Amino acid sequence: MIDLTGVSKIYQIGTVEVRALDGVDLRVDDGEFVVVLGPSGSGKTTLLNIIGALDTPTEGSVSVGGRDITEASRSELFALRRQTVSFIFQSFNLFPGLTALENVEFGMDVASKRGVTDPVSVLTSVGLGDRIGHFPHELSGGEQQRVAIARALATGNPVLLADEPTGELDFRTGAQILELLIEQASDNRAVLVVTHNREISRIADRVVEMSSGRIISDGPPQGGKTPLSELHW
Q: Which residues bind ligand ADP (CB under 6 A)?
A: 11, 13, 18, 20, 38, 40-46
* Amino acid (1-letter code) at residue 4: L
Q: Which is nearer to ligand ADP, 22 or 143 (CB)?
A: 22
Minimum gap (Å) between residue 164 Cβ and ligand ADP: 8
Minimum gap (Å) between residue 159 Cβ and ligand ADP: 18
Residues linked to residue 211 through DSSP beta bridges, in sequence order: 214
Q: What share of the chain is helix, strand, coil (3-state, %, to 5)?
A: 35, 30, 40
Minimum gap (Å) between residue 18 Cβ and ligand ADP: 5
Q: Which is nearer to ligand ADP, 158 or 213 (CB)?
A: 213
Minimum gap (Å) between residue 148 Cβ and ligand ADP: 18
Give the whole-angstrom CA distance, residue 195 versus residue 199: 10
DSSP string, 154-212: HTT-SEEEEESTTTTS-HHHHHHHHHHHHHHHHTT-EEEEEES-HHHHTTSSEEEEEET
Q: Which is nearer to ligand ADP, 67 or 198 (CB)?
A: 198
Q: Which is nearer to ligand ADP, 11 or 171 (CB)?
A: 11
